[in-house]
Structure 1
Amino acid sequence: MLLALVTLLSFANAALASTEVTVKLSDKILEEEGDVNGRVRVYFSIIKPDRDSSSKGPMYENADEQDTNQVFGFDARFSTTSTTSELPEEAYGYPLSRFADLNALPAQSYSVQVELARFKEVRRQGLPPTFLPTSCVSKDGSNGAYEKPDGTIYSKPVVWKPGTPLALTLSEVIPDSTPSSRGCAGLGDGVDSDWIKTVRITSSALSEFYQNSTDATLEACVLLPFGFDDHSDAKYPLVLANGHYNPTFNPGGEFIEEKPECNDPDDYACVSAWYGYYLFSNWTAPSSTPMENARVLLVTINHPTSFFDDSYAVDSQAMGPYGTAIMNELIPEVERRFRGLGEGWARGLMGGSTGGWESAAHMILYPDMFSYSLAACPDSVTFSRHTSVNMYEQDNAYYYNSDFKRTPTPGYRDGYSGQSIDYVFPAGDIISTFREMNLRELALGDNGLSCGQCDAWEAVWSPVDTSTGYAKRAYDKETGVIDNDVVEYWKKYDLARVLVDRWDELKDHVAGKLHFAAGGSDSFYLNNGVYDFQRLLEESVGLDHGVTFTYGAHDGLGMQHCFRGYEYDQEGKVQPNSITRLTYVQDVVPKMVESWVANAPEGADMSWRY
């Protein structure tokens, strides 16, 4: 009988009996899949009388928040010839940081589940073959919701009490979702509507870098302007709405062609649907709309990697030439197919969080490509404030410098307010320290392979260890000790320093055209980087730099993640983030158009102004 078996042995101390935990790969899976390897993650959730009956299982209950469960992780390979592996006591866990602490769990009943996040062998130019996550996204997931990738193998939950043997069987597989993917238009994978079109290319730059060992597809979801067919001689500017992976077009609010049937102002899904319909109504109206005389190609792009759901759309040692591929291959192909103007003066950027960093980076690192950018709540735009950490001056990313005390650096506060109908009170409550967030990633995936946010930043900004193929750590993931040599390399992506260093070249390019927004109480402390960007700019080039900075507050309270700028309701009240995240297009695109028209070269094509 074919049987793959991983035995986990844990000894909390000599006084406690060992707890034997076995993880098996079912015969059926082994027969169907053959040899498999990846990250084994064992999840423990306390069984409570009020446990949510709708829970999908412990593998979905691990988080940065206080209601997280426990997880332990290790790499393993299952095959017919290597059926047993022992997990050392030092294996990483979260919140308990070592598997040796398993017997320290309170003596109550637990629901336990195991998953195998699968790896694939990837080849990259100049690097040794490396096993990386097969995927960091669910193909039919939503914006930034990673869920579980296709092919993830998992067990059914079992009940367990500490001190007793625990047997888990990897018997289930998350099926391939491709046939049921919603696609750009939400009608199915590759099925377009009259308004939304799909562009997919196989990047030659990425194919060469990855030596054809992994998918080199780039995808663009393109919303055509009103009058595209009737104005067959018109050529159009392009707006790139940057953000996380999303199989369906979502530039900051959905595009919904049918009037919603719901009418519940307290249901965010209903509110979001209505704003999606407002976007459709505004976009498709011939006049009396924010889009009048502002007909553009509105584009979102998908470029997931084996490190994150998004490549950050720049070139990097670990991920490869995604910036080159997007700028030189994908965008020109979109403009070729849909009559784009194809000139830098007629391209703009907008996005929040990851998309905010990309929008700032594209404006600064690719100045010939774009001429307007809104970078909302961007990831760290300078590393003097990498969230709450000063990477240039601190010795340790997890604690502030001090001779006599160890004050933890915070990582996450108050919660995310983006889908709350009203404001969320920013009390400043710490949900997770920066150390805790990193230890969770370490349990989910060693060597920067958790598909998590901090690992993703290192995959973008760090050099690669050519002996292992993994991105070098800017700080020790377990202890927090900063590696100054790696941080020195990060300066290539410190957008504030790049702009200051190239000020004479870029000052006219960014003045009046580069715009930042951040909430005064950003949930992930991303406002700190924006503050320092502004400070460095003013100290280096003076106050008359022309870059705008907007910091969000309401009623004396700082806005949280992800503030994109002020918008007001009919009574003059500041709208919460949950509303302004749905109205990027109607608010930002007309401002881009105003800037384009004012700064267009003499004789520029204005056939799109109708």
Structure 2
Amino acid sequence: MSFLKRLSGASLVKIAATAIVSAAVLPMTALAQFNDTTPGLELQISITDGLLNGSVNGRVVVLFAPSGVDPLEDTDVTSSPDLIFGMNVFGTVGTDTITLSGGSGYNVRTGVWGWPNASLDEVPPGNYSVQAFLNPYETVTRSDGSTLSVHFPCGDGAPNVDGVGSLVTSITDVEIQEGPQTVELNFNNVTLVEAFTGSEIGGCSQGNYEDTETLKYVKIRSQALSSFWGRDMYVGANIVLPSGYDANDTSARYPVIYSQGHWPADGGAFGYPDSNFSAEWDNGTIPGEDGEPDRPAPKMILVTFRHEAPFYDDSYAVNTANIGPYGDAINDELIPYIEANFNTIPEPYARVQVGGSTGGWESAASLIFRPDLFGVCFSSYPDSLDFHRHQDIPLYTSTNAYVRPNGSAIPSIRDFENGTEVVLATVAQENHWELTFGTSSRSSLQWDVWNAVFGVQGINGYPLEPWNKVTGEIYPEAVRYWRHMDLADYIVSNWDNERNLGETLRRRIFIYVGTWDDYYLNEGVVEFQNRVSAAGGPDWANVTILPERPHGGNYQGRTTWDFLELVYSWIQDHSPVGPTPLSSNVTAPASRGNTFAEVLSYGGHQAALARQAPPTIETGHCDKAGCVFAASVGRWDPGVILEAQWTVNGKPYGAAFDVAQGASLTYTPEASTKWSFLQLSVTGRKSGYVDETRQSNGVVIT
């Protein structure tokens, strides 16, 4: 069972809630914590000869840690002592010197963004251990026609800094002083794949760990993913076999638990082999407690998927417009491969989805989108199942993701001390922290991957972000596209149509969360429960909400063996010889959803092109008082800032002016412009986009 990836740093450190609230409402200089600043700080980073072959696009990240502290020791948003700064680089070659500086000319797309201080000029004087990284991007053109530059992980679980292939400087001790100062660093090394017992196992080769007697590894090249990304792409799985498993005895077949979650860095599966559970599993017996005798362990195959991807350490296991057909790769390619090579029971009742947190959402979505393939899900503390509460954000009704209407900050991570909630980080803090590691949702961190999974493509090829990453302003049109991944909305929208989810999924969804969930995920579970219960009654889905339970642990807080016996009991009950067999009526192919063709039709590059429109001018309305021409600014992606300019006979007429998206304009010509040719030019600008000017049709002023 996995925790959210953002908790991979050191232990959490409490931050005063009052300080967080005041910081989150700051716009561009968000989260600055220091009054003393050093104007004119500049970083110059050279590259050792021969280290870089050709040119590269990517993200430079510089970490300022307290003197004597390894900058990578703790980069977590809740606890890191580091000052972190990032900047995009384009076409960098080995002879270049990369320069990062502060000042007021900051631009999110090409300039330096820092956390917790936005500008390098806000680094306080003192002694630091400084290290820089260049995370390289690969530019690809996907099969839907979109072109973008992203980092492809390679057996490292897609870390947000210092991933495989990154250029790295040595840790340098630096004293920051008052006044202008230049700090020189040098990229002199490249991060390589860590040594495994076998060859590397990442998404960039067919290699695997070495098998053991009970732990097997598979990896396949996915045709669906490779076709979409225009390069070789792989998915894999770690497979734990039950005690007594005999590959040659095909008459003995076993149900399978498919466990979803983050990159399994230890090479194991479901806590195996790194726990006491392993010895019990291998022995095939569950030790008795309180004098009770040992009992036979349920015989199942345990599978943990490996599907690190661009944008995150896993793909979320569904088909998405931004990450690609990972649902098809796992369900239609990898699982058939597993079933062809291991003695599984290839029936829906014997395929079980489980997971926690990220894996909780994935396991629920896998069943909800593929009830024809899987029998049931046991999903613990899942990511937002209903976007009426995306963590603590009322996403459909809010105007800002960072600040409530009363001005208080929206929290994101919390703890409880003696029953009192302590906020550890706000939504603003997390998003600003992520922005140091990557623009256009490329940080490989939590909020950004939600943009990639739940959202559609922007016209720039990257995820269409639901809000302004700096200010928190929500773009309602972008949020509307998320409804396809709102699992409650998806179920209700397909309740009694050809997918018939009202009957198909009845009593097959098991959800668990605690009221003290660290990330407020209980709120989305409550919204989900209310929505499906209103449609199907209180017992349509099995939802367990335990008081004062935090994020983590097994389903319903059970021990591992207790949970496995619960799952095995469900399988036995719903087998063809069980008391409540899973009917073929509820596993019909017609219930399948989230097809990749459907995803691309509403969210892919062609859909992004189709929703654009140029400005238009209507034929003028004339009367005795004169003529008036009506115009629209066209359609643009949410968040694009527009500037309009009238032109007469191809030349600007009057001053350019700012205009809101969706605005209607009017133009009243002067008498001297009779028989002139009128047009409207509109220029759009947005972080992560190339500035674009669109011209309207032309009309003649008569």
Query: How do residues 65-464 of structure 1 correspond to structure 2 at under 5 angstroms?
Result: 65-77=78-90, 78-80=92-94, 83=97, 87=101, 89=103, 90=106, 91-99=111-119, 102-135=120-153, 139=156, 148-163=162-177, 164-177=181-194, 180=197, 189-211=208-230, 213=231, 215-229=232-246, 231-255=249-273, 273-282=275-284, 292=297, 294-400=298-404, 402=405, 405-414=406-415, 427-464=420-457
Shift of 1:132: 0.3
Distance 1:602 1:511 in 2: 12
Q: How much has 1:208 moved relative to structure 2?
A: 1.3
Moved more, 118-127 or 355-364: 118-127
- Rg larger in 1 or in 2? 2
CA pair 69-427 structure 1, distance change in 2 beyond 3 A: farther
Spell out the pairing of 1:477-556 with structure 2 (5 A cutoff).
477-504=469-496, 505-545=500-540, 547-553=541-547
Per-residue CA shift, 1:506-535, capped at 9, x if unaligned? 234333321001121111111111011111
Structure 1 position 488, deviation (Å)? 1.0
Q: Does the CA-based 8 Å contact 2:243-2:281 persist in structure 1?
A: no
Deviation for aligned residue 1:172? 2.0
Partner of 2:48: 26
What is the CA distance between 1:226 and its match in structure 2?
3.0
Residues 537 and 179 (structure 1), Cα distance of their counterparts in 2 relative to 1, 3 Å cut = closer
How many residues in Structure 1 have an aligned counterpart in Structure 2? Answer: 525
* C-alpha deviation, 1:539, in angstroms: 2.7
Supply the distance in 2 between the matched residues of 1:586 and 1:310 (Cα, whole angstroms).
28
Look up the match of 1:562.
552
Aligned to 2:72, what secondary structure does the other structure show? helix
Is 1:111–1:157's contact at 8 Å kept on the other side of the alignment? yes
User: Normalising to structure 1: TM-score of the pair?
Assistant: 0.79
Partners of 1:563 and 1:382 in 2: how far apart? 22
Counterpart position of 2:458: 465
Report if aligned partners of 2:44, 2:99 keep a CA contact under 8 Å in 1: no
Mapped partners of 1:251, 1:338: distance in 2: 16
Normalising to structure 2: TM-score of the pair? 0.69
Letter in 2 for 1:469: G
Contact 1:513/1:595 (8 A) holds in 2: no
Deviations 1:206-247 (A, max 9, x none): 111112x2x311102222233332743123322211111115
In the TM superposition, structure 1's runs of 4+ consecutive aligned residues that sit over 6 Å from their partners are 144-147
1:419 matched to which residue of 2?
none
Partner of 2:641: none
> Does the Cα contact within 8 Å between 1:181 and 1:247 map onto a contact in 2?
no
Contact 1:146/1:309 (<8 A) preserved = no
CA contact (8 A) 2:242 2:284 kept: no
CA contact (8 A) 2:351 2:373 kept: yes
CA contact (8 A) 1:225 1:295 kept: yes
The equivalent residue for 2:580 is 599
Helix, strand or coil at the partner of 2:276:
helix
Extract unaligned runs of 5+ from structure 1.
1-11, 257-272, 416-423, 569-579, 604-610
Does the C-alpha gap of structure 1 residues 147 and 246 become closer, same or farther in structure 2, counting only changes over 3 Å? farther
User: Does the aligned pair in 2 maintain the 1:178–1:189 contact within 8 Å?
Assistant: no
Alpha-carbon distance in 1 for matches of 2:579, 2:447: 40
Deviation at 1:146, TM superposition (A): 6.7
Counterparts of 2:579 and 2:266 in 1: how far apart (Å)?
Answer: 33
Pick which of 227-236 and 525-534 moved more.
Answer: 227-236
**CA spacing shift, 1:453–1:564, aligned 2, 3 Å:** same
Contact 2:349 2:574 in 1 (8 A): no
Could you say what the CA RMSD is over the residues aligned between the two structures, in angstroms? 3.0
Contact 1:439 1:478 in 2 (8 A): yes
CA deviation after TM superposition for structure 1 residue 601, in Å: 5.8
Q: Which amino acid aligns with 1:484?
A: P
SS in 2 for 1:503: coil
| Runs of at least 5 residues in structure 2 that lack an aligned partner in the other structure | 1-33, 202-206, 288-292, 585-702
Q: Give the deviation of 1:469 after TM superposition.
A: 1.3
Aligned to 1:9: none
Amino acid across the alignment from 1:477: K
The change in CA–CA distance for 1:581 and 1:174 in structure 2 (over 3 A counts) is: farther
* Identity score, percent: 28
Asked whether 1:58 is paired with 2:71, we answer: yes
User: In the TM superposition, what is the alpha-carbon distance from 1:446 to its structure 2 partner?
Assistant: 0.6
